[in-house]
Amino acid sequence: MSSSLLADWRDRPTHRRVWALAAPMILSNISVPLVALVDSTVIGHLPHAHQLGAVAVGASLYIFLAWMMGFLRMGTTGFAAQAAGRGDGNALRQILLQGLLLAAGLSLLLGAIAIPFSGVALSLMQPSAELHELTLEFFHIRLWGLPAALASYALVGWFLGTQNARAPLAILLTTNLVNIALNLWFVLGLDWGVAGSARASVIAEWSGALLGLYLTRGALRVYPGKVLWAALRVWRNWQPLLGVNRDIFIRSLVLQSVFFSITLQGARLGDATVAANALLLNGLLLTAHALDGLAHAVEALCGHAIGARDREALRRSMVVACGWSLLASLAFTLLFLLGGHLFVQMQTDIASVRETAFQYLPYLAVLPLIAVWSYLLDGLFIGATRAREMRNAMLISAVIAFPVAWALHGYGNHGLWISFLLFMVLRSATLGVYAWRMQRRDQWFNS
């Protein structure tokens, strides 16, 4: 067994295929948390902690809604990868249109529930009056970018499925570089404060989505085919995508509930604590988005291998991606151990927020080694369009972790971080058990 793994690791063509997809996605993914870092850094150098807290809480509310729709990317990637593996241009066009139509419909639905949702969420958090007012202002402006954000999810997922990593790189870099530039201009140059940060994000999201729509023209030339409009009106043709998306939605809803509960509990512990947790979670976002570059490569390569029914390519892709993911997670752990204080200081000069964040840096340093396996296994299950197992693993993890979090409630923010670490351990473990069982039963190639 060990000699087989070593032979797979030494397969240079697989390394090249993994990095051809992973490198552009790592570059583009890292730009996503860099935007959060820039937002925090720009707002963090304004005079009041509640201004940084408003961006943290307002962004958390928006992300909770938007990232619940993450199935638009994940579900699209698996189906597009398998269609590309079969060389089916008609199916690729159908998947693209279905993803964009779902994005449009869901943005209208979320827009209708967003205002009452924000009111309920803030009443549960019980923030200060200043934090409450600024958070609502930030959140209401950000909602104008929601249709573009959801369309970008579908576009990025579709491009990844066709093993085109350059288009997602262009979409995400455009979105995030525009966001960074406008943040600096609107907040520091025009002195628009928290509202300026939100306006920058809206303009950036629309810029990325429009670019993505334009890039689909060139990508479709690689896979000849036509749009079967009649097929889009047949319910049966929507069922596989909607079934996978339903399970990924449930999985994403639980995951975002966990992240949202961290913000909610932190807000109850004070403005400095919620701001400090936001700065540390930026570190997790940086790690997750970088490691997700390798997970995205797994999605595309494993989905393509399953579409082509190539067991050897599936195994080699997983072995190579596992090795590089472990090395990358070790690098991030060392980064936070050695440079964690500088990482916090770069984001804010508010003394109370800095001192609070310094106390919890060890938790951030441990996270990459714990979380990396869940990212990698998510990629495998997404490529295989096995969303039911992802959903069940997430539900099991949350059911076990939430009672522990309740029991540790009296330990304040330390209890909150310990509970979160446990949740991430459970995510990796449950997905690992499902993957092991499916491998033993040779179920990856079953529809």
Sequence-distant (≥ 6) Cβ neighbours of residue 13 within 8 angstroms? none
- Say how many residues make up the chain: 447
Residues ≥6 apart with Cβ < 8 Å to 237: 94, 231
CB neighbour list of residue 51: distance below 8 Å, 6 or more residues apart: 43, 134, 193, 194
Cβ atoms 250, 389 nearer than 8 A: no
User: What single letter denotes the amino acid at residue 156?
Assistant: V
> What's the confidence (pLDDT) of residue 212?
93
Tokens representing 405?
Answer: 């979090």
Query: Helix or strand or coil: residue 7?
Result: helix
Instruction: State pTM to two decimals.
Output: 0.71
The whole-number pLDDT of residue 192 equals 81
Written as one string, the DSSP assignment of 12-37 is HHHHHHHHHHHHHHHHHHHHHHHHHH
**Measured distance CA(136)–CA(115) in Å, rounded:** 9
Residues 182 and 200: their CA atoms lie apart, in Å, by 5
pLDDT of amino acid 28: 66
**What pLDDT, on the 0 to 100 scale, is given for residue 366?**
92
Gap between the Cα atoms of 37 and 45, Å rounded: 12
**What is the DSSP secondary-structure string of 207-268?**
HHHHHHHHHHHHHHHTS-----HHHHT-GGGTHHHHHHHHHHHHHHHHHHHHHHHHHHHHHH
Q: How far apart are CA 139 and CA 198, in angstroms?
A: 8
Q: What angle do CA 337, 416, 257 make, to 5 degrees?
A: 110
- Residue 365 confidence (pLDDT): 92
Question: 10-residue block means of pLDDT along the chain (447 residues)?
Answer: 70 84 74 61 64 71 76 81 81 89 90 81 68 79 89 89 85 86 84 82 92 88 81 81 84 81 72 80 82 83 80 86 90 92 83 86 92 90 86 93 85 87 93 90 73
- pLDDT given for residue 209 in this prediction: 93
Residue 184, CA distances (Å) to 89, 146, 297 in order: 43, 22, 33
Q: Within a 10 A sphere around the Cβ of 399, how many other Cβ atoms?
A: 11
H helix or E strand, kind and range, residue 438:
helix 412-440
Tokens for 224? Answer: 């000849």
